[in-house]
Chain A
Amino acid sequence: MGRITLDKVTKSFGTAQVIPPLDLTIEDGEFTVFVGPSGCGKSTLLRLIAGLEDVSSGQIRIDGEDATMTPPAKRGLSMVFQSYALYPHMSVRKNIAFPMRMAKMPQEEQDRRIEAAAKALNLTDYLERRPGQLSGGQRQRVAIGRAIVREPSAFLFDEPLSNLDAALRVGMRMEISELHKKLATTMIYVTHDQVEAMTMADKIVVLRAGYVEQVGSPLDLYRAPRNLFVAGFIGSPKMNFIEGPEAAKYDAHTIGVRPEHISISADEGPWSGVVGVSEHLGSDTFFHIHDTGLAETITVRADGEVSFHHGDRVHLTPRTDVIHRFDTAGLRINQ
């Protein structure tokens, strides 16, 4: 079980309020991702749940029980840190065994769980090594192993992949998702990378300056962002925002069109502009179009085979059925 409820939780450091009153419920077994730009309070929020920081006011409930004042070790949560926080002078085996040793678990049970975790995480050959002798990905797995053996009611991940290189990051992303499917335990995952959020989450919590901007499934957020911030944050490349007379045609202050919802052609389309930088990814090509008179640049996604050159004049056609409309306050206007 691992249902975590935050009830009007706030956190202040001195006079600076980092988390304004915040309500949030994380259901049992759910993979929840806190995402937001750096400094938005997502790590603080995770540390509040972990018990590493005291809340300034409000209540944290785990499985219905008030855990606001419970020390971290008694909350039944495991955490994987950004720096992995492995104990450098202990072997991998001892690192993984540490929480069980602290709980004075019988030796046979410890060994059984270590073997199981090592097998699940491909660490069997490395059990006697020190963390210093392992690669980044292996260290990451040891940190996860140390979290698993306690059989916690929820896992907390604090930007666990940010120290890995791009290829490894994709691999570990899959492994963590796989682990979640297998264990079916609540996981809370903090990241600033919206791709990680989109690919892994059951539920995304978008944070800005401590405020929850929107909560929902990845596709909900993609299809119906509640405001300009979420619209700009979710989706890659970023959504194009257009203001002025073009937006007024749609009865909105600002309209948003995703790059993948604009088609590009040499001779026809309501908008026109000049090709700037084009990024060829093989599968896709991203064109940055200038001089459209609508916004500084408009980003367009096209098929990998489409080819325009720098300085070519092109015409763009937005898909009108998926245009997002926002009012003067930046809030979504529903169709």
Chain B
Amino acid sequence: MATQHSRSAARIMMAPAVILLLGWMLVPLTMTVLFSFKKYLPLRGGDLGWVGFDNYIRFFSSSAFWPSVQVTLVIVGGVLAITVVFGVLLALLLDQPMWGQGIVRILVIAPFFVMPTVSALVWKNMFMDPVNGLFAHLWKFFGAEPLSWLSEASMQSIILIVSWQWLPFATLILLTAIQSLDSEQLEASEMDGASPLARFIYIILPHLGRAITVVVLIQTIFLLSIFAEIYVTTQGAFGTRTLTYLIFQRVLESQNVGLGSAGGVYAIILANIVAAFLMRIVGKNLDS
């Protein structure tokens, strides 16, 4: 890769992919930015001309804005905490030699293959339905009043559904990381007098640092934009309106493309702030 010739050849070879990706990203991004400076109401007159920063100011000063940011961050944080903690524990469990290991591993990973819409529907109708749901039956079996999950504990329910979907991903990544731990290190620490808990804290957890970082970063990217789970269950009611959902409502329900686009730009900024924080906190694990 050192000669002038091979370097320019490499550039030409990569160009199609780079151009395609850039186009894929840049065209929607430019259009979003463009629309955000316009009053654009498709069903009420169409393109009504440039309005400067009006859309930004309206979106920002709307009473729905800050709660939606908060909801987004709570869902992301909650799901991250649950998937990382239980992911580590499940990975430890699955790493133990046991009968039927292959089947158990496939079953554990299965939720990841279920589409978000489908899984949210299954949760909503089969588990969380206050009349016919499995949880309602369970509650009644113990003589308790069934909970109407999605209205009384809406945030917890959504976090539960999304965590269920993402736990397999975290478990899978962490399991492969645990399997790559040199068994002599564990034996050495055992000789050094480390208890099982100390071995976990001083040997296994630091070894998992990088894998946890990857899990957190990848999941954050996807969790900031969760939509289907909310659309199918609460439709943004009961304090579950995320920023993504707010934008959807502005664009499709209020038919205000300009206002929604301004929200989209805010979402980009929020994602960057979160990413910067995460890189600051966990990014150092990616070094060395």
Contact of A73 among B184, B193, B288 (CB under 8 A): B193
Stretch from B203-211, B214-222, B229-237 forming part of the interface with A? B203-211
Question: Is B198's beta carbon under 8 Å from chain A?
Answer: yes
User: Known contacts A99-B193, A102-B194, A103-B193; is A81 also within 8 Å of B188 by CB?
Assistant: yes
Q: Which residues of B contact A88 (CB under 8 A)?
A: 207
CB-defined contacts of B191 to chain A, threshold 8 Å = 50, 52, 72-73, 77-79, 99
Chain B neighbourhood of A182, CB < 8 A: none
Given the contacts A98-B192, A102-B193, A82 and B206 also touching, CB distance less than 8 Å: no
Number of interface residues of B (CB under 8 A): 19
Q: Which residues of B contact A132 (CB under 8 A)?
A: 288
B95 within 8 A of A: no
A137 CB to nearest B CB, Å:
18
Choose from B187, B195, B206, B207 the contact partner of A85 (Cβ within 8 Å): B187
Name the residue on A nearest B288 (C-beta): A132
Identify whether the interface residues of A are mostly helix, strand, loop, or mixed: loop
Least distance between A142 CB and chain B CB atoms (Å): 12
**In the assembled complex, A89 has its CB within 8 A of some CB on chain B:** yes
Contacts of A79 in B (CB 8 A): 187-188, 191
Output the least CB separation between A327 and chain B (Å): 43
Does A72 lie within 8 Å of B190, measured CB to CB? yes
Q: Is A113 an interface residue (CB 8 A)?
A: no
Interface string of A57-98 (1 = CB under 8 A from B): 000000000000001110001110111011111100000001
Q: Report the Cα distance A99→B192, complex, angstroms.
A: 5
* Residues from chain B with Cβ under 8 Å of A90 in the complex: 202, 206
Size of interface on A: residues with Cβ below 8 Å to B: 25
Q: Which residues of A contact B192 (CB under 8 A)?
A: 73, 98-99, 102, 146, 150
Give the docked Cα–Cα distance between A99 and B203 (Å): 13
Instruction: Give, as a whole number of angstroms, the nearest-CB distance from B278 to chain A.
Output: 20
Measured CB to CB, the nearest residue on chain B to A83 is B184
Find chain B residues with CB under 8 A from A81 CB. Answer: 184, 187-188
Contact residues of A between 142 and 176, Cβ < 8 Å to B:
146, 150
Could you tell me the distance in whole angstroms from the C-beta of B62 to the nearest C-beta in chain A?
47
Residue with the greatest number of chain A CB neighbours at <10 A, chosen from B190, B192, B194, B206:
B192
A50 CA to B188 CA, complexed, in Å:
10
| Contact code string B167-195 (vs A, CB < 8 Å = 1, else 0) | 00000000000000010110111111111
A52, A78, A150: the one within 8 Å of B190 (CB): A52
Answer whether A89 and B188 are a contact pair too, CB < 8 Å, given A102-B193, A102-B198: no
Instruction: Compute how far the CA of A102 lies from the CA of B202 in the bound complex, rounded to whole angstroms.
Output: 10
Whether B288 contacts A52 by the Cβ 8 Å rule is: no
**Quick one: which of B182, B194, B202, B209 contacts A83, CB cutoff 8 A?**
B182
In whole angstroms, how far apart are the Cα atoms of A63 and B21 in the complex? 71
Given contact pairs A85-B188, A90-B206, A99-B191, a sample of 12 additional A-B residue pairs in the complex whose CB atoms are under 8 Å apart: A72-B190, A72-B191, A73-B191, A79-B191, A81-B187, A83-B182, A85-B185, A86-B185, A88-B207, A90-B202, A102-B198, A132-B288
Residue contacts A-B, CB under 8 angstroms, 14 given: A52-B187, A52-B190, A52-B191, A73-B194, A78-B191, A85-B188, A86-B185, A87-B189, A87-B202, A87-B206, A99-B192, A99-B193, A102-B194, A102-B195
User: What residues make up the interface of A, taking CB atoms closer than 8 Å to B?
Assistant: 50, 52, 71-73, 77-79, 81-83, 85-90, 98-99, 102-103, 130, 132, 146, 150
